[in-house]
Amino acid sequence: MNNQSEDEFLQDLPLILAGPILQHTEPKSVTVWVALKQPCQVELKVYETINNGTVLGNSLLEGRRSTVALGKSLHVVAVTAQSTGRECLISDRIYAYDLLFTNQTSHQQSLQQALCSNRFPNVNISYFEHQKPTFVLPPSRLQDLRIVHGSCRKPHGDGFDALPILDCLIEEAANQPEQRPHQLFLTGDQIYGDDVAAPLLWVSSMLGDALLGWEERLPVTQNKPRDASYHTPKQLPPGQRVEVATYQAGFTAGLHNKEAKVASHLLGLGEYYASYLLVWSPVCWPTTFPRGREMMGGSKTRRLWDREVREMRQFIHTLWKVRRALANVPVYSIFDDHDVSDDWNLNQAWCLRVLGRPLGQRTVQNALLAYAVSQAWGNTPNQFAAGQPGEKLLAAAQDWSASQGTDIAAYNAIARYVGMPPTNPRTSLPEFVQDGAVLVLERHPEALTWHYTVRSHCHEVIVLDTRTWRGYPADDKPTAPPMLLCPQAFEQQLSLPLQQTPEIQATLVIAPTNLFSLKVIDWIHHWQLRRDKVFAADVGDSWNIHTEALAKFLTTLFEQRQQVVVLSGDIHYGSVVRMSHVGTSSNSQAQSVLVQLTASAMKNEETITRIIHTRLKDWILPEKVRRWSGWSNPLNMVEQKPRESRRDRQLQMKPDWYCALEWIPRQNTRKPYFGANIPWLITTKQQARNDKWRWLQRLMFWKFPWFQEGREVVGLNNLALVQFELADASKPHKAIQDLYWFSPWYPTQIVYSRFDSQLVPNQSLYWLGSTSKLEQ
Q: Does position 415 have pLDDT exceeding 80, yes or no?
A: yes
pLDDT in the model for residue 504: 83
Beta bridge partners of 333: 186
Tell me the one-letter amino acid at 488. Answer: Q
- What number is the average pLDDT over the span 377-385? 97
Domain annotation covers residue 395: no
**Does 216 lie in the same domain as 304?**
yes
Do 459 and 539 belong to one domain?
yes
User: Quick check: 250 and 527 in contact, CB under 8 A?
Assistant: no
CA–CA gap between residue 438 and residue 547 (Å, rounded)? 15
Is 276 part of a structural domain of the chain? yes
| DSSP secondary structure string for all residues of 34-53 | EEESS-EEEEEEEEEEETTT
pLDDT in tens, 560-595: 999 999 999 999 999 999 999 998 876 656 889 999
Last residue of a domain, one of 384, 404, 420: 384
- Look at residue 717 and tell me if it is in a domain: yes
- State the pLDDT confidence band at 611, using cuts at 50, 70 and 90: very high
The DSSP 8-state label assigned to residue 234 in this structure reads G
Looking at 348, 369, 384, the residue that finishes a domain is 384
Same domain, yes or no: 612 and 724: yes
Amino acid in position 689: R
pLDDT level of residue 764 (50, 70, 90 thresholds)? confident
Q: What is the mean pLDDT of residues 708-716?
A: 95
Mean pLDDT of 457-464: 95
Together in a domain, 362 and 460: no
For residues 324 and 125, is the Cβ–Cβ distance under 8 A? yes
**What per-residue confidence (pLDDT) applies to 776?**
33
Spell out a b/e string for 86-107, using b for 16 or more CB atoms within 10 Å of the CB, else e.
Answer: ebebebeebbbbbbbbebeeee
Q: Pick from 359, 422, 335, 374: which is nearest to 151 by CA?
A: 335
The pLDDT score that the predictor gives to residue 537 is 85
Asked if 653 and 773 sit in the same domain, the reply is yes
Mean pLDDT of the chain: 91
Determine the structural domain holding residue 99 and report its residue range. 1-137+191-334+336-384
Q: In the structure, what pLDDT confidence band is assigned to residue 691 with cuts at 50, 70 and 90?
A: low
pLDDT digits (tens, 9 = 90+) for 164-196: 999 999 999 999 999 999 999 999 999 999 999
Whole-angstrom distance, CA of residue 573 vs CA of residue 598: 7
Assigned domain for 700 exists: yes
Q: How confident is the model at residue 703 (pLDDT cuts 50, 70, 90)?
A: confident
What's residue 85's pLDDT? 78
Q: Tell me which of 384, 415, 443 is where a domain ends.
A: 384
Residue 403 belongs to a domain: no
Establish if 407 belongs to a structural domain: no
- Domain membership flag for residue 74: yes
The answer to whether residue 274 scores a pLDDT higher than 60 is yes
715 by DSSP, 3-state: which?
coil
Banded model confidence at residue 447, pLDDT cuts 50, 70, 90? very high
- Within this chain, do residues 358 and 463 fall inside the same structural domain, yes or no? no
What global pTM score does this model have?
A: 0.95
Give me the pLDDT at residue 772, please. Answer: 40
Residue 679 binned pLDDT confidence (cut-offs 50, 70, 90): confident
Residues 354 and 469 both lie in one domain: no
pLDDT for res 220: 87
Q: For residue 262, give the amino acid letter.
A: V
Q: For residues 488 and 347, state if they share a domain.
A: no
Using the predicted structure, report yes or no on whether residue 532 has a pLDDT greater than 90: no
Q: Is the peptide bond before 422 cis (omega within 30 degrees of 0)?
A: no
Q: Tell whether 372 and 464 lie within a shared domain.
A: no
Task: Answer with the residue of higher pLDDT: 731 or 361.
Answer: 361
pLDDT at site 711 = 93
In this predicted structure, what is the pLDDT of residue 771? 43
Q: Is the pLDDT of residue 649 over 60?
A: no
* Domain total in the chain: 2
Q: Within a domain: residue 91?
A: yes
* Closest to 49 in 3D by CA, of 113, 134, 129, 114: 134
The pLDDT score that the predictor gives to residue 587 is: 60
Least Cα distance to 635 among 546, 566, 565 occurs for 546
